[in-house]
Structure 1
Amino acid sequence: MMTNLFDQFASPTFFGVHLIIVATLAPWLLFPSPSNQWISNRLVTSQSWFLKSFTKQIFSPISLRGQKWAMILSPLMVFLLGMNLLGLLPYTFTPTTQLSLNLGLAIPLWLATIIIGLRNQPTASLAHLLPEGTPTPLIPILIVIETISLIIRPLALGVRLTANLTAGHLLIQLISLATVNLLPSSIMLASLTFSTLILLTLLEIAVAMIQAYVYVLLLSLYLQENT
């Protein structure tokens, strides 16, 4: 039973082609490029408003040098948001439930912020490893602790996104199976579990949007520390 539940997180294939490739490219197909016309349609206008509001909120506390990352983090936000929401549709595959993909996005971006900090302001970047006013006997221990906390940041990013989406999808599947099994025996209980399923689906939509935002927000905070 548990093997069947977790089969949804394995990358399916169709005629030998891994569908994770299709699932990864699908969000970009939903966002048309702006045209050169004076009057654009509602979809392009909504996209422009969303990207401007998101960029303004995320990059307002970051220095001008770090605001160059808007061309990287804004598409990343749209990419994660599209994949998280598309994964809630029936008979679809969610690439962001794979820890390898989330770590593959988090580690290079996190490492780039560290390299930028060491290159532009090495003293301030290294000062984060040792809080000011630390007693001398605690200096080695605190340096080790702060180094470990720095290294596990990309791991925390990937695990957070993977765990939240995986838990939500498992709950949706468990409650949907309970609804199907209770339907022949008790319509009242099946209706109750179905209403719970609707509420859980709405909650999972909110989680999909929030987790994409938190993922990019934490990357912007790491960038703010090093610029």
Structure 2
Amino acid sequence: MMLSFFDQFMSPTYLGIPLIALALSLPWILYPKPTPRWLNNRLITLQGWFINRFTQQIFQPLNLKGHKWAALFASLMLFLITLNMLGLLPYTFTPTTQLSLNMAFAVPLWLATVIIGMRNQPTHALGHLLPEGTPTLLIPILIIIETISLFIRPLALAVRLTANLTAGHLLIQLIATAAFVLLPLMTTVAILTAVLLFLLTLLEIAVAMIQAYVFVLLLSLYLQENV
């Protein structure tokens, strides 16, 4: 019996083995690998079309130096979408509801973009800390504010993904519990609640895909500032 609604976000273990390891390995098992044949089947063709469209959409505003990140960002996008979507199935666990995991994704990638900017164009990278034409008295304050906003970026990335998925899962569980409780008492209200639950599930599917896209899109914007 679940003691709290938040118990669903605890990392489960079975026989002492953390199931988050299994959840993280599932995306790489589920997707088909390209074959050396000239003609692919429908699934591989659709998968390739999606990756190509996503890559063109993300890297269109970036210059050629940033295109080296295309494979990494496309893989991250597919990985996050799969984790978010699999977490909507019954009796499953969503690893991306863990802030520690999202920070593990956000911090290294954000730090890599900052290091690239400091190495290739340090003047331009440091110029973001102080807008042009700033009054002399405001220079120390603005530098502190811009530095804080720079270092808070990975936290914002991770918290945005965690909060949206956690809120959606909690709302689904609350409405589902209300539907089961109201079924013997007020059948009509329970049916309306079930319809609301179905619509909320559709919304959560959209949120799962959009949040993965937003995560990678913001990383591409950070990369665009530093290449």
Q: Which runs of 4+ in 1 moved over 2 A?
A: none
- CA deviations on 1:74-105 (whole Å, 9 max, x unpaired) are 10000000000000000000000000000000
| Correspondence 1:75-224 to 2 at 5 A | 75-224=75-224
Q: What is the alpha-carbon distance in structure 1 between the residues aligned to residue 50 and residue 88 of structure 2?
A: 21
The alpha carbon displacement at 1:39 in A equals: 1.4
1:20 corresponds to: 20
Instruction: Give TM-score scaled by structure 1 length.
Output: 0.98
Which amino acid in the other structure matches residue 213 of structure 2?
Y
2:73 corresponds to: 73
The alpha carbon displacement at 1:38 in A equals: 1.5
Instruction: Give TM-score scaled by structure 2 length.
Output: 0.98
Q: What is the alpha-carbon distance in structure 1 between the residues aligned to residue 27 and residue 112 of structure 2?
A: 25
1:49 corresponds to: 49
Q: Which runs of 5+ in 2 are unaligned?
A: none
Which amino acid in the other structure matches residue 64 of structure 2?
L
Which amino acid in the other structure matches residue 31 of structure 2?
F
1:226 corresponds to: 226
Which amino acid in the other structure matches residue 81 of structure 1?
I
2:38 corresponds to: 38
The alpha carbon displacement at 1:2 in A equals: 9.1
Q: What is the alpha-carbon distance in structure 1 between the residues aligned to residue 58 and residue 82 of structure 2?
A: 19
Q: CA RMSD in A?
A: 1.1
- CA deviations on 1:16-49 (whole Å, 9 max, x unpaired) are 2111011111111111110011211111001100
The alpha carbon displacement at 1:13 in A equals: 1.1
Q: What is the alpha-carbon distance in structure 1 between the residues aligned to residue 13 and residue 74 of structure 2?
A: 30
2:5 corresponds to: 5
Q: Secondary structure at the match of 1:175?
A: helix
More displaced stretch, 154-163 vs 14-23: 14-23
Which amino acid in the other structure matches residue 80 of structure 2?
L
Q: What is the alpha-carbon distance in structure 1 between the residues aligned to residue 108 and residue 28 of structure 2?
A: 21
User: Between the two proteins, what is the percent identity of the paired residues?
Assistant: 68
Q: Secondary structure at the match of 2:64?
A: coil
Q: What is the alpha-carbon distance in structure 1 between the residues aligned to residue 136 and residue 4 of structure 2?
A: 55
Q: What is the alpha-carbon distance in structure 2 between the residues aligned to residue 22 and residue 45 of structure 1?
A: 27
